[in-house]
Amino acid sequence: MAEQTPLVAGTAIVLRGAFNPAIFQPAWFAVEKLLPGEEAESAKVEIVTSQITSFTTAWLTIQVTNDRFMAHTQLANMELPLRDLVLATFRLLRHTPISVMGLNRDAHYEMGSAEAWHRIGNLLAPKERWEGLLNQPGTRSLTIEGTRPDKYEGYIRVKLEPSNVIPLGLFIEINDHFQFATPPSSPGDPWKSDTESLISSANMLAALEGAWDESFKRARSLMEGVLKF
């Protein structure tokens, strides 16, 4: 049985829409009082341009391009501040079109032994069928998708991989995906929506506020469930 507390874990909120990356720099967050001034001052800015912004603080990573926004933390006690930061940001920038949102949790667990590590891969993807087709078949990545149990459009994906951080570790990622508009059938076409998602963040804000707790519990339950396989 793996240790139930992950050695490395993270939470990320990913949004897809139309963004102006140059806005999202530490100074803006400080001026709007969304980050403490001292945190913004000591932030490590990788890049701020009209195409991409990326910076990190002691607990937070922000990365924004013209069509994606991501806020990520690796500290378990900063999940709620992370949610608040995204809520506050897009309450201020409420005319930002946001089409989809992902509430993502990832964790690297120590499996305790090589047997336990192999067992979970063999259980989820039995290798007998592959014997003779591949030499020494092994599970590299497995994604299971389920429908949403709530009123939102979207899906829930669980991804399992050998950890690339912990030897004999298991990586689990939960992608809790909310869809507020229909993606185009071919690249370059516009998104389709009869809601206000194409011109505002209102639906995203409502979902982030309303579904956060359940999403958090579900992710924890999914991870614990996988570890009991």
Task: Enumerate residues 116-175 that contact another protein by CB under 8 A.
Answer: 118, 136, 138, 140-141, 143, 157, 159, 161-165, 167-168, 171, 173, 175
Cβ-count burial of 137 within 10 angstroms (0-12 exposed, 13-18 middle, 19+ buried)?
middle
Q: How far is the CB of 229 from another protein (least distance, A)?
A: 19
Nearest to 62 by CA among 80, 36, 35: 35
Nearest to 20 by CA among 67, 88, 56: 67
**Interface pick for another protein out of 4, 18, 20, 92 (rule CB under 8 A):** 92
d(CA 186, CA 218): 33
Task: Enumerate residues 9-48 that contact another protein by CB under 8 A.
Answer: 9, 12, 14-16, 25-27, 33-48
**Residue 36 contacts residue 86 (beta carbons within 8 Å):** no
* Residue recorded with tokens 């011109």: 199
Question: What are the backbone dihedrals phi and psi of residue 182, each rounded to the nearest 5 degrees, phi first?
Answer: -90, 130
**Interface pick for another protein out of 60, 82, 198, 222 (rule CB under 8 A):** 198
Q: How far is the CB of 175 from another protein (least distance, A)?
A: 4
**Residues binding another protein: what is the number (CB under 8 A)?**
94
211 binds another protein (CB under 8 A): no
- Between 63 and 120, whose beta carbon lies closer to another protein? 63
Q: How far is the CB of 49 from another protein (least distance, A)?
A: 4
Helix (H, G, I), strand (E, B) or coil at 144: strand
Q: How far is the CB of 188 from another protein (least distance, A)?
A: 10
d(CA 141, CA 162): 7
Q: How far is the CB of 206 from another protein (least distance, A)?
A: 8
- The structure tokens listed for 114 are 């090589």
Of 1-9, 123-131, 221-229, the segment contacting another protein by CB under 8 A is 1-9
**Interface pick for another protein out of 3, 4, 5, 146 (rule CB under 8 A):** 5
- Between 7 and 225, whose beta carbon lies closer to another protein? 7
**Interface pick for another protein out of 106, 109, 208, 218 (rule CB under 8 A):** 106
**Residue 39 contacts residue 57 (beta carbons within 8 Å):** yes
Cβ-count burial of 184 within 10 angstroms (0-12 exposed, 13-18 middle, 19+ buried)?
exposed
Task: Enumerate residues 52-81 that contact another protein by CB under 8 A.
Answer: 52, 54, 56, 61, 63, 65, 67-68, 70, 72, 74-78, 80-81
Nearest to 122 by CA among 113, 130, 133: 130
